[in-house]
Structures are given as structure tokens and as C-alpha cells.
């Protein structure tokens, strides 16, 4: 049996990678992918506990998360597409109209 | 009928409301007619009340039937123990004042309809004139100090408004300001007096205060009386606050006649007479009144001797005659003071209306040395003016003689010998400057410039009629106050006696008439000397005046410049106040207060500048901020659960 901690550490690492990706990368698509990575890390945590606590609820939750992730990607991508049409760039640092 | 006395102040108020609201769309004639009718109606009611009063017993008998009445109007203030109920105090003194005010006002309103015919802003003039009459009636008919103060302030306001009627003329605007500010000083003193009255008596109603006046400390009474009297020196143009009256001649002449001769300036005299119990309760207040009155009378008469402006001479004459009235009430001869107030109203208003007629005819010329020979061109004006001058000089059989003489006699009998002597000298000076004015303006060769000379014309009937009526009153008005020794009864004294019955200064009626006749002869002699001197200098030897002047140049300059009092006030009071104002405005206001407020604003701005740096517009920075926040909350929760709190 693989100890639960392995899965959890993996999940934490994946989550951290996702966060760092959002903060550091400038490309909007990559930021979106990092967000997906974060979501999947959370999914992994949920599955892990579902298995080790012998409860099906974790897996149900993961299904919902996946649905939300899909919807979110659809919306996010359409935003990025319209942003690209406007500004001809995917570099988020260039989207600074709210700069005070 | 007495219960309808509230109509007396009502009519002018209605006149004000109509002319103020609709005046702009009414024709000039209508505005004047409305105003005149309002005051005339007031006079009619006052006359009816007066005649009804005469039918009632002079002393209030057991069943309360008498000539005095208090007519409640409304309750103004109810605040704990402080209450002010506005009522009309109808007694002999107030009805007499009301008659004088409404009667003379009616004549002057009619006169004004012709005088201001060619002016713009008709409705403004007549509105304020009516408002003035209303306020003056509030003053004389009120039964408590607060509504008297309302009237007091109100007449000051109307005086200011009417003096600066031609507000685009710099000198007129300045004169109005001066009048108002000087009166403000007096009003402040009056207000302090009222506050002290409330603190001492607990009430402001005359019927509460006057009976209790004998029970208070003399020192308190002195304080109250002097505070009230200082207010009176401003309103009635005595030393030290008379300086506004000569300047007030900038206003239209009917205004000078009504406000600055016949009515408003008499408010101070009325006040002292009304409050006589307080003044008598004090040991020294009446002394002050006597001396200030006497000195002012003398002082103003000396200045009038050398003035060249027609109206200024009359203004200083008013100040001087008011001094006589204060001398009268100061020695306790209240009825005599009020009697002189009445006769003075007649002949001084008459003199001013004649001045108006001259100004009207000469298109604004006021320098008497640029006049001359008007006697032939304006015979009616001349005749009525002559009557006024005779009355003013106190020559026998004219009204001024009876009233002035009664004051002088009462002063002598009360032992005020120095004031008596000074007043007799002043009477001589009065005759001199009055006849000087008459001779220089109306007699002799015409010194008019050619252009004005062609337009010289007699005044229209609407102006002459009031003048003639006042001239008649100036002659016969004296017979209501015959001297005691004639045993024919002094109607004024008798009528007013119940009002002053609680005075401790009343004299027994004179038995033998020798003193009285003797004193009368002295004052008449003084007047005749004055007349002869004026005749000698200004009719017989025309150049003599100029020669005398050049011989005593310093004296002439002193008098011509009014003893430099205005300049002294300017240096000692006005300029320091202006510098203080400038200091407060430039230093305290700009560098102190403005800097503080602006500094606060700038502080907020700086804070904003600092916080602005947070708004980078970069999504990643916002994401980082969210992360930091989430981590902080998480850490907090973890630490708490670990530490078991």
C-alpha cells in the first residue's frame, strides 16, 4: 500500500507548481494551464482522501470540480481570444489599462 | 375704540407688503397713493383712539376704566421662565407719540409723491418709508423691552436703507454704512441693558419692570440706565455717537425730514421718558442725561454757525434741539421734553421740507452761499421757512418758544443752573444760525449760476400743502403747552401727567410768575440778540462775515471741520479696527486657517499618491496579493488550532 502522504505531497507539489506558474508566467494561456494544474492537484487530494477514508463523497466532489473546470476553461479561453483580438498579444503584462 | 389700537401699526405694514410685492408692476402714482393712504389711515385711527381716550377719565378708577390699556397681540417666546408676550401699551404717552409719528409721516408721504416723481425704484422708496413708520409705531406702542428693541433696530435699518437710497453714489453708500455702524454700537449697548434688565427683574415687560425699579440697587439701576442711554445717544444723535446724522443728509430730503428730524431721532427721548422710573432709581444717570444733552446742544449749535450746506445746518440744529429734549427729561420734566419733541417735529420737518423745495428748484444745489434772493422766486417756500425759523429760534408766540421755555424754566427750577445758562446761550446761537440760513439763502442778491437760475420755480402744490400745514402747526402747536403762570392750564402736562405720576422729580405748580417771566425774558433776549447779529452780518454788512472769519481763522476752521471729531474717530477707532481686520484676514485667515484646511486636503492627497502605487494594473501582482492574503489566513487558522485556542 502506498502511504497517503505520498499522494498528498504530490498534490501539494502540483498545487505549488500551479501557483508559481500563475504568478511567474506572462503568457495568458500558460496561466490558464497553471490554474488547471491547481485544480487537478486539488482533485488528487480529494481522490486520495476518498480512498483512504472509504468515502465516495470525495469522488463525487471531483466530478463536480471537473465540470466547473471545463466551464471555466471555456469562458477563460473566450476571454483570452477576445483579448487577443483587441491587443494582438497574450502577454498579460500588456493588459494594464487599470494602472493607477 | 381703544381696543382697535392694533390697527395703528397694521396699516403701514399692509402698505409695505403691497408695495414690496406688487410695487414693480404698479404705476408710480399708485405706489405713492397706497403708501400715503396707509399712513393716513393709521393717523385717522390714532386720532379716533385719542379722542376716545379724552372721553375717558384721566385717572384709572376702581372699575378699571381709564385711558391706559394693554392690548395683547400674540405670544412670541415661551421658554422656561422667560416669556415675551407682545402687546400694545396704549397710554397717553404712546398715543401722543403715535399721533406725531403718523401725522407728520402722512404729510411727508404726500410731499414725497411729488419729490420723488422722477425717480426710479419708486416702490423701494415708499416700501421702506412705510416700513419705517411701522417700525416706529412698534417702538412707541410696545409694552416690553424686546419688541421696543425690534422697533429700535427696525427704524435703524430703514434709516440705513433710505440714506443710501441712491446707492450708486459713493458718498450716500458710505453715509448709510456709517449710520448703521454707529447705531450698531448704540444698539449693542441697548441690548446689554435689556439683558441686565432681564437678569435683574426676570421679565422684560414694562408693567413688571417699572414698578419694581425702586426696589433694586442704585448701582444696578445706574448700569441699566446708562447702557440704555448710550443706545439713545446713538439713535438720537447725542455726544458721542451723533456723527452719523450730518452724513445722513445724503438721503432724499423727505427722508431727512421724517426720520432724522421728526421721528426716529426722538426715539431716545421717548425711551428715557418711558423708562423714567429706572433712571430715577439711579443716583447719577439723569445727571449724565442732563449734561450730555446740554453739552451736545451747545456743541452742535456752534458747529451749525459756520456750515455752508443747507441741510447740514438743519442736521446740526436737530442734534442741538435733541440736546434740549434730553435736558428736559434729564431734570425730570418729562412732559416738557415730549412737548418740545412734538413742536420740534413740526417745525424741523417743515424746515427740511422747505430745504427739499429749494433743492428741488435748484436741481440739487445745497451751498447757501451759492443761493440768494430766493425770497422773490419762491415766495411760499420763503414764507413757510420763515415760520419754521421763528419757531426754531424760540421767538414768542411760536410753538418752539413755549416748549423750549418750559424746558429752560424746569431746568432752572430743578437747580441745574449751569445747564440752564449754557442752554440760554445755545438759544442765542440757535437764533443766529437759523436766521443766518434764512438771510443767506433767501435774501440779498442772487448768487445762483445762470443755468440753475433759469429753472428756479416754486414747489408744486403736493409739496407746498404739507409745508403750509406744518407751518400752521408750528405756530399754533405751542398753545397746547401754555406756561403755568398764565393759569390757563398746560394741556400737554395735564394729559401726560398720569404717565409720570410715579416720578419723584415732579415740581409743584408755580404760584407767582415772576421767576418764570424773568427767565422767559432772558431766553427771548438771547434769541433776539442772535437774530440781530445775523441780520447785522448777513443783511446789513455783507462782507462782515468774511472779515470776521479771516480774523479768527483758527476758530472758523475748528468749527467748519466739526472739531475734527470724525477724523479723531477715524484715527482712534476705525483705522485700528481696519488694521485688525486686515491682519485677521491676511495672516490668521490665509496663513492660519486656510493653511490648516488646505494642509489637511494635501495630506489626504499624499496618502492617495502613496496608495496609488498599489494599482499597477498587472494581473500577476493582484494574483500575488490574493495568494499572500490566503496564506495569511491559513497560517492564522493553523496556528490557532495548533496552539489549541
pLDDT at A84: 92
Nearest to A93 among B613, B614, B618 (CB): B618
pLDDT at B487: 64
Return the CA Rg of chain B.
31
Distance CA B537, CA B109 (A): 37
pLDDT at B536: 86
Please report, in angstroms and rounded to a whole number, the separation of the first and last CA atoms in chain B.
92
More confidently predicted of B145 and B58: B145
Cβ of A23 within 8 Å of Cβ of B627? The answer is yes
- What's the mean pLDDT in B581-600? 84
Residues B40-94 have pLDDT tens digits of 999 999 999 998 888 887 766 666 667 788 888 888 888 887 888 889 998 889 9
Mutate to test the interface with A, among B614, B623, B625, B630 (most CBs of A within 10 A): B623
Asked whether residue B194 carries a pLDDT value surpassing 70, the answer given is yes
- pLDDT category of residue B595 using cuts at 50, 70 and 90: confident
CB A87 within 8 A of CB A94: yes
What residue of A is the nearest CA neighbor of B627? A19
Asked whether residue B521 carries a pLDDT value surpassing 70, the answer given is yes
Average pLDDT, chain A: 92
Which residues of chain A have a CB within 8 Å of the CB of B616?
96, 99-100
Alpha carbon of B436 to those of A29, B420, B430: distances in Å?
A: 110, 24, 10
Give percent of chain B above pLDDT 70: 97
What residue of B is the nearest CA neighbor of A31? B620
Alpha carbon of B349 to those of A25, B150, B211, B317, B404: distances in Å?
A: 100, 25, 36, 12, 17
DSSP string for residues in B289-343: HHHHHHHHHHHHHHHHTT--BHHHHHHHHHHHHHHHHHHHHHTT-HHHHHHHHHH
Nearest to B616 among A23, A24, A99 (CB): A99
User: Among the listed ranges B33-37, B39-43, B264-268, which one has the minimum average pLDDT value?
Assistant: B264-268
The owner of cell 424746558 is B407
More confidently predicted of B613 and A59: A59
- What's the mean pLDDT in A67-90? 93
Cβ of B620 within 8 Å of Cβ of A96? The answer is no
Distance to chain B for A98, nearest Cα, Å: 5
- Asked whether this complex has an ipTM greater than 0.95, the answer is no
pLDDT at B110: 92
- pLDDT category of residue B13 using cuts at 50, 70 and 90: very high
Distance to chain B for A94, nearest Cα, Å: 8
Asked whether residue B385 carries a pLDDT value surpassing 90, the answer given is yes
Distance CA B337, CA B273 (A): 8
In chain A, % helix, strand, coil (3-state, to 5) comes to: 80, 0, 20
- pLDDT category of residue B510 using cuts at 50, 70 and 90: low
What one-character DSSP code corresponds to residue B63?
A: T
What residue of A is the nearest CA neighbor of B610? A100
Cβ of B619 within 8 Å of Cβ of A92? The answer is yes
More confidently predicted of B264 and B295: B295
Full-model pTM: 0.81
- pLDDT category of residue B588 using cuts at 50, 70 and 90: confident
- pLDDT category of residue B490 using cuts at 50, 70 and 90: confident
User: Among the listed ranges A49-58, B49-58, B182-191, B192-201, which one has the minimum average pLDDT value?
Assistant: B49-58
- Dihedrals phi, psi of B70, to nearest 5 degrees: -115, 120
Query: Is residue B274 exposed (0-12), middle (13-18) or buried (19+ Cβ within 10 Å)?
Result: buried
CB B448 within 8 A of CB B362: yes
Cβ of B620 within 8 Å of Cβ of A93? The answer is yes
Asked whether residue B454 carries a pLDDT value surpassing 80, the answer given is no
Distance CA B69, CA B62 (A): 14
- What's the mean pLDDT in B256-276? 88
pLDDT at B254: 92
Distance to chain A for B594, nearest Cα, Å: 30
Average pLDDT, chain B: 87
More confidently predicted of B452 and B437: B437
Asked whether residue A46 carries a pLDDT value surpassing 90, the answer given is yes
pLDDT at B426: 94
Asked whether residue B245 carries a pLDDT value surpassing 70, the answer given is yes
- What's the mean pLDDT in B168-191? 92
Highest mean pLDDT among A59-73, B15-29, B386-400, B453-467 belongs to: A59-73
Asked whether residue B151 carries a pLDDT value surpassing 90, the answer given is yes
Nearest to B617 among A23, A26, A97 (CB): A97
Cβ of B618 within 8 Å of Cβ of A26? The answer is no
What residue of A is the nearest CA neighbor of B609? A100
Distance to chain B for A51, nearest Cα, Å: 25
DSSP string for residues in B217-268: -HHHHHHHHHHHHHHHHHHTT-TTS-THHHHGGGS-HHHHHIIIIISGGGHH
Asked whether residue A79 carries a pLDDT value surpassing 90, the answer given is yes
Cβ of A95 within 8 Å of Cβ of B614? The answer is no
Amino acid at each position: 500500500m502506498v502511504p497517503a502522504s505520498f499522494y498528498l505531497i504530490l498534490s501539494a507539489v502540483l498545487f505549488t507548481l500551479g501557483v508559481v506558474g500563475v504568478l511567474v508566467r506572462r503568457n495568458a494561456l500558460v496561466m490558464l494551464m497553471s490554474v488547471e494544474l491547481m485544480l487537478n492537484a486539488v482533485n488528487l487530494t480529494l481522490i486520495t482522501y476518498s480512498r483512504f477514508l472509504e468515502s465516495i463523497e470525495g469522488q463525487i466532489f471531483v466530478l463536480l470540480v471537473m465540470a466547473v473546470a471545463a466551464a471555466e476553461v471555456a469562458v477563460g479561453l473566450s476571454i483570452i481570444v477576445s483579448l487577443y483580438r483587441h491587443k494582438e498579444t497574450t502577454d498579460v503584462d500588456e493588459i494594464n489599462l487599470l494602472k493607477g | 375704540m381703544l381696543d382697535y389700537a392694533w390697527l395703528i401699526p397694521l396699516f403701514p405694514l399692509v402698505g409695505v407688503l403691497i408695495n414690496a410685492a406688487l410695487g414693480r408692476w404698479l404705476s408710480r402714482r399708485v405706489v405713492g397713493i397706497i403708501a400715503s393712504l396707509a399712513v393716513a389711515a393709521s393717523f385717522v385711527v390714532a386720532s379716533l383712539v385719542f379722542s376716545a381716550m379724552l372721553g375717558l377719565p384721566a385717572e384709572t378708577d376702581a372699575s378699571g376704566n381709564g385711558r391706559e390699556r394693554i392690548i395683547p397681540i400674540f405670544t412670541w417666546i415661551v421658554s422656561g421662565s422667560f416669556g415675551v408676550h407682545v402687546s400694545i401699551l396704549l397710554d397717553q404717552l404712546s398715543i401722543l407719540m403715535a399721533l406725531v409719528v403718523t401725522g407728520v409721516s402722512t404729510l411727508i408721504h404726500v410731499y414725497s409723491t411729488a419729490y420723488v416723481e422722477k425717480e426710479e425704484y419708486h416702490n423701494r422708496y415708499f416700501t421702506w418709508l412705510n416700513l419705517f413708520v411701522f417700525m416706529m409705531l412698534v417702538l412707541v406702542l410696545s409694552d416690553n423691552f424686546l419688541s421696543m428693541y425690534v422697533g429700535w433696530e427696525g427704524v435703524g435699518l430703514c434709516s440705513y436703507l433710505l440714506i443710501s437710497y441712491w446707492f450708486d453714489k459713493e458718498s450716500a453708500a458710505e453715509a448709510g454704512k456709517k449710520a448703521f455702524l454707529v447705531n450698531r454700537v448704540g444698539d449693542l449697548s441697548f441690548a446689554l441693558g435689556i439683558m441686565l434688565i432681564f437678569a435683574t427683574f426676570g421679565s422684560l415687560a414694562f408693567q413688571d419692570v417699572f414698578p419694581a425699579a425702586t426696589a433694586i440697587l442704585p448701582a444696578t439701576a445706574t448700569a441699566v440706565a446708562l447702557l440704555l442711554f448710550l443706545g439713545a445717544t446713538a439713535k438720537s444723535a447725542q455726544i458721542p455717537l451723533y456723527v452719523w446724522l450730518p452724513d445722513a443728509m445724503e438721503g432724499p430730503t423727505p427722508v431727512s425730514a421724517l426720520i432724522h428730524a421728526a421721528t426716529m431721532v426722538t426715539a431716545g427721548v421717548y425711551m428715557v421718558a418711558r423708562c423714567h422710573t429706572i433712571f430715577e432709581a439711579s443716583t447719577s444717570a439723569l445727571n449724565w442725561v442732563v449734561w450730555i444733552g446740554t453739552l451736545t446742544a451747545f456743541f452742535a449749535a456752534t458747529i451749525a454757525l459756520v456750515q455752508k450746506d443747507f441741510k447740514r445746518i438743519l442736521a446740526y440744529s436737530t442734534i442741538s434741539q435733541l440736546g434740549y429734549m434730553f435736558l428736559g427729561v434729564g431734570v425730570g420734566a418729562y412732559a416738557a421734553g415730549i412737548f418740545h419733541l412734538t413742536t420740534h417735529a413740526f417745525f424741523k420737518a417743515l424746515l427740511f421740507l422747505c430745504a427739499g423745495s429749494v433743492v428741488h428748484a435748484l436741481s440739487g444745489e445745497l451751498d447757501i452761499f451759492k443761493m440768494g434772493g430766493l425770497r422773490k422766486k419762491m415766495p411760499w417756500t420763503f414764507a413757510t421757512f420763515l415760520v419754521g425759523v421763528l419757531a426754531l429760534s424760540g421767538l414768542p408766540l411760536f410753538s418752539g418758544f413755549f416748549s423750549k421755555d418750559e424746558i429752560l424754566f424746569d431746568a432752572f427750577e430743578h437747580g441745574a443752573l449751569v445747564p440752564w445758562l449754557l442752554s440760554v446761550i445755545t438759544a442765542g446761537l440757535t437764533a443766529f444760525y437759523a436766521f443766518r440760513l434764512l438771510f443767506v439763502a433767501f435774501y440779498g442778491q442772487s448768487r445762483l449760476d445762470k443755468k440753475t437760475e433759469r429753472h428756479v420755480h416754486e414747489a408744486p402744490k403736493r409739496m407746498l400743502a404739507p409745508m403750509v400745514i406744518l407751518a400752521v402747526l408750528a405756530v399754533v402747536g405751542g398753545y397746547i403747552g401754555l406756561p403755568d403762570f398764565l393759569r390757563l392750564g398746560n394741556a400737554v402736562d395735564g394729559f401726560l401727567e398720569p404717565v409720570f405720576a410715579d416720578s419723584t422729580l415732579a415740581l409743584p405748580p408755580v404760584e407767582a410768575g415772576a421767576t418764570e417771566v424773568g427767565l422767559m425774558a432772558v431766553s427771548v433776549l438771547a434769541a433776539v440778540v442772535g437774530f440781530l447779529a445775523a441780520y447785522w452780518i448777513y443783511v446789513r454788512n455783507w462782507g462782515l462775515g468774511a472779515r470776521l472769519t479771516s480774523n479768527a481763522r483758527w476758530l472758523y476752521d475748528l468749527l467748519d471741520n466739526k472739531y475734527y471729531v470724525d477724523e479723531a474717530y477715524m484715527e482712534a477707532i476705525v483705522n485700528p479696527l481696519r488694521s485688525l481686520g486686515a491682519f485677521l484676514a491676511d495672516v490668521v485667515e490665509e496663513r492660519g486657517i486656510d493653511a490648516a484646511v488646505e494642509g489637511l486636503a494635501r495630506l489626504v492627497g499624499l496618502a492617495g499618491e502613496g496608495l496609488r502605487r498599489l494599482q499597477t494594473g498587472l494581473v500577476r501582482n493582484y494574483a500575488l496579493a490574493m495568494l499572500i492574503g490566503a496564506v495569511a489566513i491559513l497560517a492564522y487558522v493553523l496556528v490557532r488550532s495548533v496552539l489549541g485556542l
